[in-house]
Chains A and B, each alone.
Chain A
Amino acid sequence: MNESTTKPKPNYITAGNTAKSWLLTVDHKRIGLMYLLGMTFFFLIGATAAALFRFELATHNANVFANDTYNRLFTMHGILMVFFFLIPAVPGVLGNFLVPLMIGAKDVAFPRLNLASWYIYMLGGTFTLGAIVLGGIDTGWTFYTPYSSVYADSQVILAGTGVFITGFSSILTGLNFIVTIHKMRAPGMTWMRLPLFIWAQYATSIINVLGTPVIAITLLLVVFERALGFGIFDPQKGGDPVLYQHLFWFYSHPAVYIMILPGFGVVSEVLACFSRKRIYGYEFVAFSSLAIAAIGFFVWGHHMFTSSQSPYAGLIFSILTYLVGIPTAIKIFNWTATLYKGSILLSAPMIYALGFIGLFLVGGLTGLFLATMAINVHLHDTYFVVAHFHYVMVGGMMMAWLSGLHFWWPKMFGKMYNEFWARVGAVIIFFGFNFTFFPQFIAGYMGMPRRYHVYDIEYQPFQMLSTVGAYFMGVGLIICFVTLVSSIFKGKPAGKNPFKATGVEWNQADSPPDQHNFTSPVKVDVEAYDYTDERIYQDT
Chain B
Amino acid sequence: MNLLAVKTRPVVASDYAEEVDALYNYLLGVSVFFTVAICSVIVFFAIRYRRQSDADRPEATKDGKLLEILGSVIPFILVMIMFFWGAKLYFDAYMPPKDAMEILVTGKQWMWKMQHPNGKREINDLHVPVGVPIKLTMTSEDVIHSFYLPDFRKKMDVVPGKYTQMWFHPREEGVYHLFCAEYCGSEHALMVGRLHVVSPAKYEEFLSSGGMGAMAEAAASDDPVVAGKAVWEANCVICHSGPGGIGPNIHKAFGSMRELETGESILMDDDYVRNSILNPNDDIAKGYPAAMTSFKGQLNSTQISQVIAYLKSVSEADQ
A-side interface residues toward B, CB under 8 Å?
Answer: 66-68, 70-71, 138-140, 142, 144, 146-147, 150-153, 235-236, 239-242, 275, 277-278, 280-281, 284, 305-308, 311, 314-315, 318-319, 322, 325-326, 329-330, 332-333, 336-337, 339-346, 354, 357-358, 361-362, 365-366, 368-369, 371-378, 380-382, 442, 445-447, 449-456, 458, 461, 532
Contact = CB atoms under 8 A, between A and B. Distances in A.
B58 to A, nearest CB: 6
Contacts of A278: 60
Contact of A306 (B59, B79, B80, B146): B146
Contacts of B156: 306, 308, 377
Contact of A236 (B155, B161, B183, B290): B161
19 contacts: A68-B289, A70-B189, A151-B293, A152-B185, A153-B290, A311-B91, A318-B83, A341-B49, A354-B46, A358-B42, A368-B31, A368-B82, A372-B85, A378-B150, A381-B146, A381-B182, A449-B148, A461-B6, A532-B60
Nearest to A244: B144
Contacts of A152: 185
A361 B38 CA distance: 9
A378 B20 contact: yes
Interface string B236-251: 0000000000000000
Contacts of A284: 68
A494 B293 CA distance: 62
A452 B188 contact: yes
Given A241-B144, A325-B79, A361-B34, A445 B24 contact: yes
A306 B144 CA distance: 12
A368 to B, nearest CB: 6
Given A150-B143, A340-B49, A372-B86, 12 more contacts: A71-B186, A140-B183, A314-B90, A318-B87, A326-B75, A326-B79, A333-B38, A333-B68, A358-B35, A358-B39, A374-B85, A380-B155
B33 to A, nearest CB: 10
Given A144-B182, A372-B23, A341 B83 contact: no
Given A373-B87, A454-B189, A447 B177 contact: yes
Interface string B2-33: 01001111100000000110011001001100
A8 B72 CA distance: 54
A537 B259 CA distance: 79
B31 A366 contact: yes
Contact of B186 (A138, A357, A376): A138
A308 B38 contact: no
Given A311-B94, A532-B59, A339 B75 contact: no
B35 A362 contact: yes
A344 B51 CA distance: 5
A101 to B, nearest CB: 26
B57 interface: yes
List of 8 A-B pairs having minimum Cβ-Cβ separation, nearest first: A447-B150, A235-B161, A372-B86, A374-B89, A373-B90, A339-B45, A452-B189, A365-B31
Given A280-B63, A446-B8, A242 B159 contact: yes
B164 interface: yes
Interface in B177-206: 177, 179-190
Contacts of B183: 71, 139-140, 142, 144, 147, 381, 450-451
B100 interface: no
Contacts, number: 256
B39 A361 contact: yes
A374 B189 contact: no
Contact of B46 (A151, A311, A330, A346): A346
B9 A446 contact: yes
B257 interface: no
Given A146-B144, A346-B46, A365-B30, A371 B82 contact: yes
A277 B59 CA distance: 10
B109 interface: yes
Contact of B188 (A308, A358, A369, A451): A451
B160 interface: yes
A251 to B, nearest CB: 19
Contacts of B20: 374-375, 378
Nearest to A239: B161
B50 A337 contact: no
A308 B71 contact: no
Contact of B157 (A151, A306, A311): A306
Contact of A377 (B154, B162, B182): B154
A308 B182 CA distance: 13
A343 B19 CA distance: 48
A70 B9 CA distance: 27
A452 B177 CA distance: 14
Nearest to A284: B68
Instruction: Name the residue among B19, B159, B293 with the largest chain A CB count within 10 angstroms.
Output: B159
A345 B83 contact: no
Contacts of A366: 31
Contacts of B94: 311
B41 interface: yes
A308 B164 contact: yes
A458 B82 CA distance: 30
Contact of A454 (B1, B50, B157, B190): B190
B86 A373 contact: yes
B86 to A, nearest CB: 3
Contacts of B189: 67, 70, 451-455
A315 B150 contact: no
Contacts of A239: 161
B142 interface: yes
Interface string B198-242: 000000000000000000000000000000000000000000000
A315 B57 CA distance: 47
A343 B8 CA distance: 42
B185 A382 contact: no
B42 A357 contact: yes
B82 A322 contact: yes
